[in-house]
Each structure stands twice: as C-alpha cells, then as structure tokens.
C-alpha cells in the first residue's frame, strides 16, 4: 500500500501520460499500470464506504414522513457524497483500464509482457470492471430509496460522524485497505496533511483532523464513511437552580 493520504484530486484533469502513445514501451505501460492501481484504490475505498452507508440506511426504521428523522436524512446525504466520489473514481479507473489494454497489445510492448505481469494486469482490469458493475447496482438502489428522501427534505448539515464498522478478516500478506472519509472545514486530514475542504480523502486506517498542516492531532481508528471536521464545541453547562434554604 502506498503511504500517506490520497486525495480524490488525483482524478482531476487529464494526466500528461494520457496523451496518445505513438510507439509505447515498457515505461509507458508501467506508468499506466501505476495510475490504474491508484485509481482502483480510490474506487474500492469509496465503494466500500458507500456500500456500508447503504447498509446502515436499511437498518433504520422508515419514519412516518420522509423528513421526520434528521439522522436518516443526514445519512442519505453521506451516501450521496460518497457515491459521487465512487462514481468519479470508477469512471476514471475504467478509462485508465482501456488505456492499459491499448498499450499492452501494442507491437512494441506485447512481446515484453511475461506471464506474471500479464496475470497482474488481468487482475487490475477485472477489478475495474467489477467496480463499474458494483457502481451501477448501488446507483440504482440509491435512486430508488435515498434520492426521493433527499428531494423531499432540506439539505442536512454534515458534522463529525463515525463510519460504519463491519467485521472483516484480513488476508495474510495483503496490505491494509485504505479508508474513505469525508473531510469538512478549513483544515487538514492527518497523517499526510490532505486538505479537507469538503473532500473525500483516503486514509490508511487511522486519521485525525488538524487546523494546520503541521498535524498537531492524534490519529485514531476510522471506519469507512466517517466524517471528520473541526471539533464540535460542547454546549455550556446548564446552571442548576439554587436549592432553597430549609424553613425553620
């Protein structure tokens, strides 16, 4: 797993390497493969967060009126935000997968791709297709169950909220999966000092929100779909009425 924090900004704009390759070679295929790997990390992390949030939605009781449960409405907006990030990442990964295919079969490259490399590329290409199919199913579900509520209710303000934990058995030798979180406010997500600004970012399992890029905060375990932002001020304590003196 690559270190530090990955921001979805890596999806913005065409990369210089995306220009047409007249006679690509091994360096071009390696670069295209590395970019596809990064995009798959993003697609899988945002997809995992979206799926868990959708599962949490199904466990909430349906209110008498769509807007009666503020927690449910806020959850719907989180689903929308992470689903949008998943859509962007999955589409970028699929486009990059097409580029990997084109370079892979180029006459200047194909003879140099051995069996091990070919198997690795096949796995990545399969993951890109799986992400796209999963996105289609999740989008159809969201359109049927979540968006009607969002269309009927005022937008719910998002605030610091835990993610959705689920029991997972780690595979020995596999790197720890990235976790997608929504970062709010004028700050940074640490470690890695990724700019918050209402963005979905990827963190390596532990993170915290910092008011400065020096990361003066202590990372703690986060689950997919969490919302990180500035500390919420505690309400002032209510004063207890003074006890009346006992009557003689």
Same domain, 77 and 114: yes
CA-to-CA dists, residue 10 to 38, 94, 136, 194, angstroms: 9, 15, 23, 12
* Structure token pair of residue 219: 């990372």
Specify the DSSP class assigned to residue 235.
P
Q: For residues 193 and 78, state if they share a domain.
A: no
pTM for this model (two decimals): 0.84
Query: pLDDT tens-digit profile of 66-111?
Result: 899 999 999 999 999 999 999 999 999 999 999 999 999 999 999 9
User: Could you tell me if residue 172 is inside a domain?
Assistant: no
Residue bearing tokens 């720890």: 176
Q: What is the DSSP string of 97-143?
A: HHHHHHHHTSTTTGGG--HHHHHHHHHHHHHHHHHHHHHHHHHHHHH
State the residue range of the domain holding 186: 179-228
Count of structural domains, the chain: 2
> What pLDDT score does 20 carry?
54
Instruction: Give the CA distances from residue 225 to residues 82, 101, 135, 228, in Å, rounded to whole numbers and listed in that order.
Output: 7, 32, 16, 10
Contact yes or no for 128/38 (Cβ under 8 A) = no
Task: Let me know whether 36 and 146 are in one domain.
Answer: yes
CA distance 80 to 95: 23
Is the residue at 193 inside a domain?
A: yes
Structure confidence by residue, pLDDT tens digits, 13-59: 444 444 555 789 999 999 999 999 999 999 999 999 999 999 999 99
Give the pLDDT confidence score for residue 232 in this predicted structure: 75
């Amino acid at each position: 797993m690559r270190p530090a924090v990955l921001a979805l900004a890596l999806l913005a704009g065409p990369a210089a390497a995306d220009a047409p390759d007249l006679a690509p070679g091994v360096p071009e295929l390696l670069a295209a493969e590395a970019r596809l790997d990064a995009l798959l990390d993003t697609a899988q992390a945002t997809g995992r967060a979206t799926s868990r949030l959708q599962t949490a939605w199904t466990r909430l009781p349906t209110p008498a009126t769509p807007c009666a449960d503020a927690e449910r409405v806020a959850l719907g907006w989180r689903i929308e935000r992470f689903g949008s990030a998943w859509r962007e990442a999955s589409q970028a990964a699929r486009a990059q997968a097409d580029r990997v295919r084109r370079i892979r079969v180029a006459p200047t490259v194909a003879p140099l791709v051995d069996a091990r490399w070919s198997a690795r590329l096949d796995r990545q290409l399969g993951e890109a297709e799986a992400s796209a199919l999963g996105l289609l199913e999740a989008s159809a579900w969201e359109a049927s169950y979540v968006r009607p509520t969002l269309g009927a209710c005022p937008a719910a303000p998002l605030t610091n909220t835990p993610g959705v934990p689920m029991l997972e058995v780690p595979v020995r030798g596999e790197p720890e999966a990235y976790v997608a979180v929504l970062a709010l406010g004028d700050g940074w997500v640490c470690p890695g000092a990724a700019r918050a600004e209402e963005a979905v970012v990827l963190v390596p399992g532990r993170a915290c929100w910092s008011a400065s890029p020096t990361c003066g905060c202590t990372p703690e375990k986060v689950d997919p779909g969490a919302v990180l932002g500035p500390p919420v001020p505690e309400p002032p304590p209510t004063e207890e009425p003074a006890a009346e003196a006992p009557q003689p």
